[in-house]
Amino acid sequence: MQIKPNIILLCSSFLVFILGLCCIDSGHNWSDDFALYLSQTQALLEGNTTDLLRANYFAMEHSYAHVGPYLYPSGFPILLLPIYALFGLNFWALKVYCLLFFVASLPLIYRIFKQLNCSTNQALSITLLVAFNYHFIRFSDHVLSDLPFLFFSLFSYYQIQKANFQNPIKAVLLGLLIFFSYNIRDIGITLLPCLFIYQWQAYKKDKKPSFFMLLLPYFAFISLWIIRWYSSPSTPSKQLSLLSETSLEIILNNAYYYSLLIGNYFFIFKGIPLGIQWLVSGVFVSLLLFGMYKKGREQPALFIYFSATIGIYFIWISFQGMRFLFSILPFLVYFIIEGIKALPISFNVRRFLVLGLILTSLVQSLFISYYYWNTDTNEAYSSEMQQIYQYIQAKTPKDALIVFHKPRALRLFTNRNSVQKNLSAAHYALVKQPYEVPPSDSILLQTAHYTFLLSARKSK
């Protein structure tokens, strides 16, 4: 008896949700991108986004490295608004909310690849290789835009696939949807060339849509972009200035690291010698390139979307990691399976290889969920840090400037601005032990792992 695809999707989605829940901690780690997203959500509720921009601009300009942008696009903070308004700074609720976007992405993945004329088994295989992947499962322990962006970028791609450009309302809604994806993460801009290629393919068919109808999604996108530009507080573009710093060395380094990530997507590499990592990654990169070559002419829109996204990450000045690839990983899996299908091996061997990858992914995700279930990942909102935040709020003036290695997180939890550099204007410093306190500085609070200091400059 053959199990219906919808039953498999339902059961796998439920399992993914349970595995994701097992990874969720009640706090957050020190990767403090989450702090700016939540600060922007607060600012939207309170109507003080301009004040946040001013504070974060100062903090980022006085930090040592590329910590983050002055402000993120507003899409993800807008999505967080209802949960934040209901539950406040409840990390568990916020993480479950983000996890639900991943669960909702799974049926979309299946339908996208059915639209690409994949067989039911192939579409299910791709979906399960995403659903059971340990990178997605463990990412449920973060309040970040990547899982919501995965959903909205896939939903946009699915609607592009379905569009016939005969209905003006649907054409406008498509443009609005693509803009919202872009407003979650800037890389969503690559959906526009994908849309153009799909329109070009539709225009080549006998039943040609009107030129006006084809332009409507772009009019909707540009209109919203102008509204965002006009209504948002003005700030220089940090992205463009960073892109100007790219070089051939950066591109080659990114190509090196992203090639390793392709193998790491399927297998946990921790503790594995680099040579074996390269061997495994080389196999999957070869299958990926083979699949892209095989399907590129048949699926030009997908080819352009995938290539444009990975191309932008290649030229970016810093290595961004697996989470930035989330939106294109389903398509990466598709190309790799197409590469496997083109190998001169029997159907049963190909099926065994794909089934082996699915089972390996599931086993790794079970292990990761068990690990996270038994591991305290709460660093930024531990009882110790909450004690420090409460002390800072009670004992320091609102205009205090504090030196700390995670300035955005400290500002979120204390409403005091923070920088990484030890500026002369900095009144206080929060340092991790062991730390040799200068004789001129005063210790205000000492906990098991941190020391809060009053600078000699302030005490004079």
Give the pLDDT confidence score for residue 232 in this predicted structure.
79
**pLDDT for residue 460:** 47
Stretch 211-216: mean pLDDT: 90
Enter the DSSP assignment of 2.
P
Tens-place pLDDT, residues 63-72: 886 678 899 9
Q: Tens digit of pLDDT for each residue in 410-435?
A: 999 999 999 998 887 888 999 998 88
Question: How far apart, in whole angstroms, are the C-alpha atoms of residue 6 and residue 352?
Answer: 23
Collapsing DSSP to helix, strand or coil, 364 comes out as helix
Which tens digits make up the pLDDT trace of 1-12? Answer: 578 989 999 999
Instruction: Report whether 199 contacts 165 (CB < 8 A).
Output: yes
Phi, psi of 31 (to 5 degrees): -70, 95
- DSSP letter assigned to residue 206: S
At residue 353 the predicted structure's pLDDT band, cuts being 50, 70 and 90, is: very high
Q: What is the pTM of this model?
A: 0.94
Distance CA 403, CA 454 (A): 10
Per-residue pLDDT tens over the stretch 70-79: 999 999 999 9
Tens digit of pLDDT for each residue in 363-373? Answer: 999 999 999 99
What is the percent of the chain where pLDDT is above 90?
78
Measuring CA to CA, which residue among 136, 149, 147, 95 is closest to residue 377?
A: 95
At 202, the pLDDT band (50, 70, 90 cuts) reads confident
Q: Which of 122-131, 337-346, 449-458 has the lowest mean pLDDT?
A: 449-458
Query: Picking from 88-102, 198-212, 409-423, which range would have the lowest pLDDT averaged per residue?
Result: 198-212
Quick check: 144 and 169 in contact, CB under 8 A?
no
261-312 pLDDT, tens digit per residue, is 999 999 999 889 999 999 999 999 999 999 999 998 899 999 999 999 999 9
Q: What is the pLDDT of residue 143?
A: 97
Contact by Cβ (8 Å): 330, 126 = yes
Residue 243 has pLDDT above 70, yes or no: no
pLDDT for residue 28 is more than 80: yes
pLDDT at 183: 97
Q: How far is CA 160 from CA 24, 318, 367, in A?
A: 34, 31, 37
pLDDT digits (tens, 9 = 90+) for 145-193: 999 999 999 999 999 999 888 899 999 999 999 999 999 999 999 999 9
Amino acid occupying residue 142: H
Spatial CA neighbour of 200 closest among 165, 166, 173: 165
The pLDDT value recorded for residue 312 is 92
| Mean per-residue pLDDT, 29-55 | 94
How far apart CA 189 and CA 202 sit, in angstroms, is: 21
CB 149 within 8 A of CB 185: yes
Taking alpha carbons only, the member of 258, 273, 23 closest to residue 135 is 23
**Region 351-368 average pLDDT:** 96
Stretch 130-141: mean pLDDT: 97
10 Å Cβ neighbour count for 179? 25
User: pLDDT category, 207, cuts 50, 70, 90?
Assistant: low
Measured CA to CA, the distance from residue 334 to residue 173 in angstroms comes to 28
Q: What does the domain layout of the chain look like in residue ranges?
A: 5-240+345-373, 241-342, 383-459
Q: Are strands 417-419 and 428-432 parallel, antiparallel or unpaired?
A: unpaired
Whole-number average pLDDT of the chain: 92
Residue in the structure block whose two tokens are 């003005």:
234
Which pLDDT score is estimated for 380? 95
Would you mind telling me the total number of residues written for the chain in this entry? 460
